[in-house]
């Protein structure tokens, strides 16, 4: 600004000089009138200052207006920034809350949840997955599923099929009596991200409870059927026994020859009738003894009762009777009582003793001088009661050992190695399902068979 005024002043002075305007400042003698020069310079300076003052005033007003506008713009921008910052913070907080809420839902799920991306790398891994596998999420994030969880019962082809088809798939994985799992796979519905969610639901308790309820209902129905059949059989059986007693009483009226001929026949018929009556009574006793809860029972006492009952139930026509077999007992002194269904365990022992009886009969028919024997042992071993029933009759082949605990079908071939009437599937079910125990068999064709049973104390 100062430069511009100086230039204007110089131009004016030069113009005045060129036009001869300095002549008023000289007298007739050509002497300079310094008073006029001073007055003129003062006037020019005042005018210049006045112009500068006006210019500065105008510039100040413009600057003030501009500063005011800038202040208003700054305030507006600061307000907008503050509102957007507040909105961003609220959105961030809401997003963090939503993320925490979703994570809480995932971690609170009572089933295992695993999330995978399209490369089958782990992206989600809830608390149940951590507890089941023993690996925290940080250690498996980004790993391939089968590196993070090698024992999972899924194949890459199953996962790829769900990714391609986008169809929800449920795979059931179970081991009878041990565990039951439902594995559900479904693809993510997002249009941008691709991946899959795997839910592993442990339904073991539910399935065992349902199976137990079904089996208890079956047992009740079977007991009702057995009771009805026993009553129906008992009526004609009583008539037959009564007729045999009548005939036996009238034999005294015959001559000695005919009486001696018929007496053994009637005695055998009477014995068979008593055996059939014992079978019917066993059925009635089993049907009437069904209970919904276990009771404390001594397994040695139950086994002794079963041995006595077997003596009345099992005999061969014109052959060996169960009471003819030498039974050796070896019971531990510290065997405690255990919670069990005594009537069911009685039937288990009867089935095992029946199996032993017919195996001994088969060996007795083939070998002369054969001495039949059954060894029974009961003892405590850690947290279980162990029962061993061993006989020296005809042993089981490897194929028969595989089929003996299976119901109505063969594991080895289309033709069952073990006949259905010699199966022990019911005994296996009672021991393993109702009493949570174990039963196994060891056998050799020439050395006999041993059944091993383990029953928990609690």
User: Among 290, 314, 340, which residue terminates a domain?
Assistant: 290
Residues 430 and 314 in one domain: yes
- Say what the pLDDT of residue 97 is: 85
DSSP result, 223-263: HHHHHHHHHHHHHHHHHHHHHHHHHHHHGGGS-HHHHHHHH
Residues 72 and 162 in one domain: no
103 in any annotated domain: no
Question: Can you tell me the distance from the alpha carbon of 206 to that of 203, in angstroms, rounded to the nearest whole number?
Answer: 5
Residues 432 and 299 in one domain: yes
Residues 438 and 319 in one domain: yes
67 in any annotated domain: yes
Q: Is 183 helix (H, G, I), strand (E, B) or coil?
A: strand
Residues 450 and 334 in one domain: yes
312 in any annotated domain: yes
On whether the CB atoms of residues 423 and 407 are closer than 8 A, the answer is: yes
Query: Domain containing 356 — which CATH number?
Result: 3.30.565.10
Question: Can you tell me the distance from the alpha carbon of 183 to that of 154, in angstroms, rounded to the nearest whole number?
Answer: 9
User: Among 174, 202, 230, which residue terminates a domain?
Assistant: 202
Condensed to tens digits (0 to 9), the pLDDT of residues 78-90 reads 999 999 999 998 9
Residues 313 and 432 in one domain: yes
Residues 268 and 258 in one domain: yes
Query: Domain containing 265 — which CATH number?
Result: 1.10.287
98 in any annotated domain: no
Residue of 8 and 326 predicted with greater confidence: 326
101 in any annotated domain: no
89 in any annotated domain: no
User: Among 245, 271, 290, which residue terminates a domain?
Assistant: 290
C-alpha distance from residue 405 to each of 21, 48, 140, 387, 420 (Å): 142, 126, 43, 17, 10
Of 15-19, 160-164, 413-417, highest mean pLDDT: 160-164
Residues 329 and 455 in one domain: yes
Condensed to tens digits (0 to 9), the pLDDT of residues 122-135 reads 988 888 888 888 89
Residues 214 and 194 in one domain: no
Residues 342 and 415 in one domain: yes
Structural domain boundaries enclosing 338: 291-458
Confidence check: pLDDT of 417 > 60: no
355 in any annotated domain: yes
Average pLDDT value for residue range 105-117: 84
85 in any annotated domain: no
Question: Can you tell me the distance from the alpha carbon of 52 to that of 22, in angstroms, rounded to the nearest whole number?
Answer: 25
Residues 301 and 424 in one domain: yes
Condensed to tens digits (0 to 9), the pLDDT of residues 208-248 reads 777 777 767 766 666 666 666 766 677 777 777 777 777 77
Of 101-105, 155-159, 288-292, 418-422, highest mean pLDDT: 155-159
Could you tell me the pTM of the whole model? Answer: 0.54
Condensed to tens digits (0 to 9), the pLDDT of residues 349-382 reads 988 998 898 888 888 888 778 888 999 999 988 8
**For the chain, how many structural domains are there in total?**
4
């Amino acid at each position: 600004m100062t430069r511009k005024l100086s230039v204007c002043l110089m131009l004016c002075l030069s113009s005045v000089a060129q036009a001869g305007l300095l002549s008023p400042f000289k007298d007739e003698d050509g002497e300079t009138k310094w008073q006029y020069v001073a007055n003129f310079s003062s006037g020019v300076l005042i005018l210049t200052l006045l112009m500068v003052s006006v210019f500065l005033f105008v510039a100040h007003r413009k600057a003030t207006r501009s500063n005011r506008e800038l202040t208003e713009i700054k305030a507006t921008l600061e307000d907008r920034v503050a509102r957007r910052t507040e909105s961003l913070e609220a959105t961030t907080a809401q997003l963090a809350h939503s993320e925490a809420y979703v994570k809480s839902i995932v971690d609170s799920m009572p089933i295992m949840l695993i999330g995978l991306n399209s490369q089958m790398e782990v992206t989600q891994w809830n608390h149940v997955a951590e507890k089941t596998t023993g690996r925290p999420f940080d250690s498996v994030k980004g790993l391939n599923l089968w590196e993070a969880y090698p024992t999972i019962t899924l194949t890459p082809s199953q996962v790829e099929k769900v990714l391609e088809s986008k169809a929800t798939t449920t795979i059931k994985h179970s081991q009878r009596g041990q565990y039951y799992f439902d594995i559900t796979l479904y693809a993510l519905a997002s249009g941008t991200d691709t991946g899959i969610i795997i839910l592993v639901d442990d339904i073991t308790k539910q399935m065992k409870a349902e199976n137990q309820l079904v089996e208890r209902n079956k047992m009740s129905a079977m007991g009702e059927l057995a009771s009805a059949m026993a009553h129906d059989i008992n009526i004609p059986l009583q008539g037959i026994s009564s007729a045999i007693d009548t005939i036996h009483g009238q034999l005294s009226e015959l001559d000695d020859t005919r009486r001696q001929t018929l007496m053994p026949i009637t005695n055998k018929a009477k014995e068979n009738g008593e055996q059939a009556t014992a079978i019917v009574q066993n059925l009635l006793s089993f049907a009437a003894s069904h209970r919904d809860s276990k009771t404390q029972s001594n397994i040695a006492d139950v086994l002794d009762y079963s041995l006595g009952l077997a003596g009345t139930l099992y005999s061969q026509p014109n052959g060996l009777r169960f009471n003819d077999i030498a039974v050796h007992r070896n019971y531990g002194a510290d065997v405690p009582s255990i919670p069990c269904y005594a009537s069911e365990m009685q039937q288990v022992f009867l089935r095992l003793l029946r199996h032993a009886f017919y195996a001994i009969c088969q060996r007795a028919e083939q070998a002369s001088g054969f001495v039949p024997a059954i060894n029974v042992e009961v003892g405590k071993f850690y947290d279980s009661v162990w029962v061993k029933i061993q006989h020296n009759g005809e042993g089981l082949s490897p194929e028969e050992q595989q089929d003996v605990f299976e119901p109505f079908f063969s594991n080895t071939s289309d033709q069952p190695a073990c006949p259905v009437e010699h199966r022990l599937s019911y005994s296996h079910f009672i021991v393993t399902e109702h009493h949570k125990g174990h039963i196994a068999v060891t056998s050799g064709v020439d050395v006999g068979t041993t059944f091993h049973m383990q029953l928990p104390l609690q």
